[in-house]
Amino acid sequence: MATSAIGPGFLTQTTVFTQRLGASFGFVILASIVLDIGAQLNIWRIIVVAEKRGQEIANLVVPGLGHFLAGLVAFGGLAFNIGNIAGAGLGLNALTGLAPEAGAVLSAVIAIGIFLVREAGKAMDRFAQVMGFLMIGLTLYVTFTSAPPMGEALIKSIAPDTVDMMAIVTLVGGTVGGYITFAGGHRLLEAGLRGRSALPDATRSAVSGITLASVMRILLFLAALGVVSQGLALDSANPPASVFKLAAGALGYRLFGVVMWSAAITSVIGSAYTSVSFIRTFSAGLERNHRWVIIGFILLSTGVFLAIGRPVKVLILAGALNGLILPLALGTMLVAAYRKRIIGEYRHPVWMTLYGACVVLVMAYMGGHTLMVEVPKLFAY
């Protein structure tokens, strides 16, 4: 879940908001962490105790709702995976000088290879863990070299100069929106962690996943803040790359290549796995051949990137949909938590329900605003 969240968009988003808000972006990160945990705790616990995937639970709440949710998740996952493939190509370009298109193809081959091994689930988990810690280690080095104003960052994280609600919602959607919401919950089921006895595992996993993603977010924020506070301008064409280069020179640019590729390739794997997990239960054929469907998903994403490049408008539309998928998904899970035929005798904590309801209301409002106001502006040109 954490490495699915840390993708090319995650890196760019963090650096752009740091440039715009400065040290006050620390407050945005803090607020988003609180909302992220509220969403993941509710969804993962309900999935585990119901012993069903998100779309199956949604169909039990309202017949047909699971199919609708699966369609949204699959579309969003495909659109973002095109960007992930592009990011993997750019990462290898920065690291080795390989053309982005060739790097994208090589990355797709590596991702497919992981799903072809006999123990694909374990291979996916191990690869994501190694890449996750590699990203954190390299970004930690760049953070130290950029020498950020730690005192100011700490103060503004609690008492910001400005509160940017759109930035908060963007971060929440980017960390636990769309397919990412279910990435860990579905993986827990497949790993055999299910039922009331697995609730402690679900809780621990949800919190640790958000913590890992948040550590990466904080380190990248501090690295960018160190660069920005020195009065250096970030390259608008590739903000995260310029952070690494300005902080650590040519070596930093190479390190960016490693971080970008690691972030992109793990997001390719997480997006493909979770998106297909939403449709595989709809027929015996899909369930039986789900591994090949995942491979087809990766090939399709790569083919679209090679054919038309990075489809910015589709990615932004998918981002707007992500803002709506989270409240729909979380709201459905909260309703399911009070249906005995779904969760049996389990009693969902009231505080957790209220926590989740707040996340639903905030994300529904802001996601609706984005879809109704911002997207029409985009497609008007």
Residue 117's domain comprises 2-379
> What CATH number is attached to the domain comprising 293?
1.20.1740.10
pLDDT of 311: 45
pLDDT of 115: 83
At 81, is the pLDDT very low, low, confident or very high (cuts 50, 70, 90)? confident
Asked whether the predicted pLDDT for residue 353 surpasses 90, the reply is yes
At 314, is the pLDDT very low, low, confident or very high (cuts 50, 70, 90)? low
Asked whether the predicted pLDDT for residue 159 surpasses 80, the reply is yes
pLDDT of 242: 84
CB atoms within 10 A of CB 102: 13
| Number of independent structural domains in the chain | 1
User: pTM for the whole thing?
Assistant: 0.81
Tens digits of residue pLDDT in 253-268: 888 888 888 888 888 8
pLDDT of 100: 83
Asked whether the predicted pLDDT for residue 162 surpasses 80, the reply is yes
| Burial of 161 from C-beta contacts in 10 A (0-12 / 13-18 / 19+) | exposed
The 3-class secondary structure across the chain, one letter per residue, is CHHHHCCHHHHHHHHHHHHHHHHHHHHHHHHHHHHHHHHHHHHHHHHHHHCCCHHHHHHHHCCCHHHHHHHHHHHHHHHHHHHHHHHHHHHHHHHHCCCHHHHHHHHHHHHHHHHHCCCHHHHHHHHHHHHHHHHHHHHHHHHHHHCCCHHHHHHHHHCCCCCCHHHHHHHHHHHHCCCHHHHHHHHHHHCCCCCHHHHHHHHHHHHHHHHHHHHHHHHHHHHHHHHHHCCCCCCCCCHHHHHHHHHHHHHHHHHHHHHHHHHHHHHHHHHHHHHHHCCHHHCHHHHHCHHHHHHHHHHHHHHHHHHHCCCHHHHHHHHHHHHHHHHHHHHHHHHHCCCHHHHCCCCCCHHHHHHHHHHHHHHHHHHHHHHHHHHHHHHCC
What mean pLDDT, rounded, does the chain reach? Answer: 83
pLDDT: which is higher, 315 or 369: 369
Asked whether the predicted pLDDT for residue 205 surpasses 70, the reply is yes
Q: In this predicted structure, which of 11-15, 137-141, 326-330, 366-370 has the lowest mean pLDDT?
A: 366-370
Reading the block at residue 43, the tokens are 């969804």
Mean pLDDT of 48-61: 92
pLDDT: which is higher, 275 or 318: 275
The top-scoring range by mean pLDDT among 1-5, 86-90, 169-173, 327-331 is 327-331
